[in-house]
Chains A and B, each alone.
Chain A
Amino acid sequence: MTTKSSPAVRVLGWLSAVTLALTAVMALVVTPGDVNMGDSVRLLYLHVPTAWLAMYVSFGVTTLASVLYLWKRTRSRFWDLTAGASAEIGVLFLGLTLLIGSIWGRITWGVWWTWDARLTTTAVLFVLYLGYLAVRKVPASPEVQSRRAAIVAIAAFLDVPIVHQSVEWWRTLHQDATFLDDRRLLDPQIHGSMAWTLFLGVIAFTLLYCWLLAHRFRLAWLEDRLADRAMQVAIDERRAEAGIS
């Protein structure tokens, strides 16, 4: 493995930048305001893709990589580093989901925050994955650290279906799913340029996630190599002190 980006990763970076810029132009200039929400609907072209990326893609990849790490036949440092890198990006995207949702809530509901079921379960998910990132930093041998983190990641993911179903299980202020719902998958409640902009936003943020994951994974791998080297230097120093060649 090298420290330089491959041409594919560079292309991914450019593609995500272009599609993100297009999403912003479509969302702010081309699409009309919503008949009920007015112009605040423009924030949902960021809110929905970031939520999709955080909950289903980032945390899904973290959970899958954690399962593959725990399974003896596929256990490898690669899966542990992938899980950590994806979770960090997921926390970033979920933080943005909460931030944009809060601004949207201020316009639409008149408050920055309310203890609504969807908002509360999402905030719990955010704290759970912050906890996961903290667990990864707790000192222990690399194997113990990775195994502990993998178990926490799988446990934290249990909140994702609760967040998804929260608008069905409880009476909430938050609107129902627009796409990811068994009734609305074939008959979404959004059409025309608004639907295309939302779709473009999902593609743009997915490309950005892939680009960020490639770089964050490589950074995690370098941190790992540096820790190994520091350990080797420390062992060599102790050996030299003890006069062992």
Chain B
Amino acid sequence: MNDAGYIFAGYFSTFAILAGYAGWVIRRKRTLSRLLRPEDIT
């Protein structure tokens, strides 16, 4: 494959950024749900 470095860098950065964002959303969601009382979130 020609330009393999560029192509793999593109794929790696895309999936890393998406995984990082998804991880941040889920972690923050868990943190906030711990801060709230059950009656606040129902």
Residues of A within 8 A of B (CB): 1-3, 20, 24, 27-28, 33, 38-40, 42-43, 46, 50, 92, 95-96, 99-100, 103-104, 106-107, 208, 212, 215-216, 218-219, 222-223, 225-226, 228-229
Decide yes or no: A46 and B21 within 8 Å by CB, A28-B7, A40-B3, A215-B29 being known contacts: no
A225 touches B25 (CB 8 A): no
Residues of B within 8 A of A (CB): 1-4, 6-7, 9-11, 13-15, 17-18, 21-22, 25-26, 28-30, 32-33, 35-37, 40-42
Given contacts A38-B3, A229-B36, 14 further A-B contacts (CB under 8 A): A27-B11, A33-B1, A40-B2, A40-B7, A46-B10, A99-B13, A103-B10, A208-B18, A212-B22, A215-B29, A218-B29, A222-B41, A225-B41, A226-B40
Decide yes or no: A3 and B41 within 8 Å by CB, A46-B11, A219-B28 being known contacts: yes
Q: How far, in Å, is B13 (CB) from chain A's closest CB?
A: 6
B18 touches A42 (CB 8 A): no
A43 touches B7 (CB 8 A): yes
Q: How far, in Å, is B28 (CB) from chain A's closest CB?
A: 6
CB-nearest residue of chain A relative to B11? A24
Our pick among A3, A46, A228 for the contact of B14 (Cβ within 8 Å) is A46
CB-nearest residue of chain B relative to A40? B3
Residues in A with CB closer than 8 Å to B4 are: 39
